[in-house]
């Protein structure tokens, strides 16, 4: 497999072992110097943009895992800097998956967006030349993210979680994954006393 698109085609159509190998091969291709620049990134952006639709057509658990893990490797190269929450509905679905690898990939992708969204909070006197959304837009997204995460926590709550003092000590579960994202969000927003906390 010489291109990222070929890897994703194999992930979606290959047998279990070739799908697994293709998913692991995506990282090598993303960071290799042999792939052409602009074409490679346009292809990646298209793959990320269509990820929820492609994922919805996958029935096998192992193929879902391979697909999500490969998507998490290329996710940061999406072309939606003006709309950083474009995949949040899908990622919230993944946070509730029974497979821990899928949940971990979802945590990674959501946390990737928290950095840019909280830039204006962490660096209040600097303007970002990279991000294409205003501090007001970022605050709206952050508020929505916080509300959604807290809502999800209340749905996933079980009395057994009361005995755990730290997030790291929680048993692997969707509840723990949501707590991890919420902790990252709160850490990144600690400089500012936001009304939504």
pLDDT at 36 (0 to 100): 55
Indicate if the pLDDT at residue 131 is higher than 80: no
- Predicted confidence (pLDDT) per residue in 59-94, tens digit: 999 999 999 999 999 888 777 666 778 889 999 999
Write down the pTM of the prediction: 0.87
Give domain limits for the chain.
2-187
3-state secondary structure the chain: CCCHHHHHHHHHHCCHHHHHHHHHHHHHHHHCCCCCHHHHHHHHHHHHHCHHHHHHCCCCHHHHHHHHHHHHHHHHHCCCCCCCCCCHHHHHHHHCCCCHHHHHHHHHHHHHHHHHHCHHHHCCCCCCCCCCCCHHHHHHHHHHHHHHHHHHHHHHCCHHHHHCCCHHHCCCCHHHHHHHHHHHHHHHCCCCCCCCC
Closest CA to 115 of 136, 100, 130: 130
Using pLDDT thresholds of 50, 70 and 90, give the confidence band for residue 197: very low
Question: Of 163, 162, 197, 166, which is closest to residue 180 (Cα–Cα)?
Answer: 166
16-30, 33-47, 127-141, 153-167: range with lowest mean pLDDT:
33-47
CATH of domain 2-187: 1.25.10
Whether the per-residue pLDDT at 108 is higher than 90: the answer is yes
């Amino acid at each position: 497999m010489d291109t990222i698109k070929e890897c994703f085609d194999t992930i979606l159509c290959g047998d279990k072992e070739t799908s697994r190998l293709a998913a692991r091969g995506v990282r090598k291709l993303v960071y290799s110097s042999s792939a052409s620049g602009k074409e490679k990134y346009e292809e990646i952006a298209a793959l990320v943009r269509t990820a929820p639709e492609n994922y919805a057509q996958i029935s096998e658990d192992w193929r879902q895992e391979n697909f999500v893990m490969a998507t998490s490797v290329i996710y940061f190269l999406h072309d939606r800097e003006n709309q950083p929450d474009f995949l949040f509905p899908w990622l919230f679905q993944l946070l509730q998956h029974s497979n821990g690898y899928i949940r971990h990939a979802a945590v990674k992708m959501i946390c990737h967006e928290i950095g840019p969204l909280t830039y204006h909070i962490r660096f209040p006197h600097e303007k970002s030349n990279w991000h294409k959304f205003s501090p007001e837009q970022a605050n709206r997204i952050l508020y929505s993210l916080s509300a959604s995460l807290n809502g999800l926590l209340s749905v996933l709550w079980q009395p057994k979680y009361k005995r755990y003092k730290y997030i790291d000590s929680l048993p692997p579960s969707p509840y723990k994954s949501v707590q991890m994202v919420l902790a990252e969000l709160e850490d990144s927003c600690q400089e500012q006393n936001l009304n939504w906390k």
